[in-house]
Amino acid sequence: MGRTQDPDLDAAIGTATLELLGEIGFDRLSIAAVATRAGTARTSIYRRWPDKTSLVMAAIREALTGPDGIDDTGTLRGDLIVHARALANRLEPGILAGLLTALRDNADLGTLVRASIVARDQKIMVAVISRAITRGELRPDAAADDLVTTVAVSMMFARTVLMDLALDDEYVTQLIDRVVLPLYRPYAQVTSRRRGYTSPSQAS
């Protein structure tokens, strides 16, 4: 029998799960604690999810999953900034910190987080670079540099989890202008300025 749909209660349970995950971590989180925080009964949660892992996975999936692409801004820099801002909005420090131990001990959670953040980021970055190649901003061989496409997400993850610092717009813009765009400079087409490419020096 399917569970009764109640979007408001689902949202309350998800929010409570994520809050507790950030406050006390995966190991100490319990269905009872989530029910108390959400203002509902444990049976209401168990009707939806059979165990703690399923509950946490559902909450994480809802929080971290974003669109598989971004709108075309017309420039490489614009696309990179839009994507980085969207990613920053999903990387909640408390949630990620609470998951650190769980990622080592629970293969399903680890797979989910990697798919929700790393794999999706990689897919979007590939699309962004392909657009830049089509516009004439970058040479075709830029698409083969997998190392560069992981720099932004790696630095953002380290800043929010390891350094406990905010991923505000100023940081995101500086990250793109001072770190990511210069890494693509060797791939820039010589005619790129006529095609709308904005170099780091022009960005300011």
pLDDT per position as a tens digit, 74-117: 999 999 999 999 888 877 776 676 666 667 667 777 777 777 77
Is the model's pLDDT at 59 over the cut of 90? no
201 pLDDT more than 70:
no
Cβ–Cβ < 8 Å for 105, 165: no
Q: State how far the Cα of 12 lies from the Cα of 96, in Å rounded to an integer.
A: 19
- Inform me whether the pLDDT recorded for 72 exceeds 90: yes
Position 33 scores a pLDDT of: 96
CATH 1.10.357.10 fits 65-203, yes or no: yes
Q: Where are the domains of the chain?
A: 7-61, 65-203
The model carries a pTM of: 0.73
- Looking at residues 57-79, what average pLDDT do you find? 84
User: How high is the pLDDT of residue 121?
Assistant: 82
- The pLDDT of residue 164 is 81
- Give dist(CA 112, CA 108) in Å, integer: 6
Domain 7-61 has CATH 2.160.10.10: no
Domain 7-61 and domain 65-203 have a common topology: no
Q: Report the range of poorest mean pLDDT among 2-16, 21-35, 37-51.
A: 2-16
Phi, psi of 172, rounded to the nearest 5 degrees: -60, -45
Residue type, 178: R
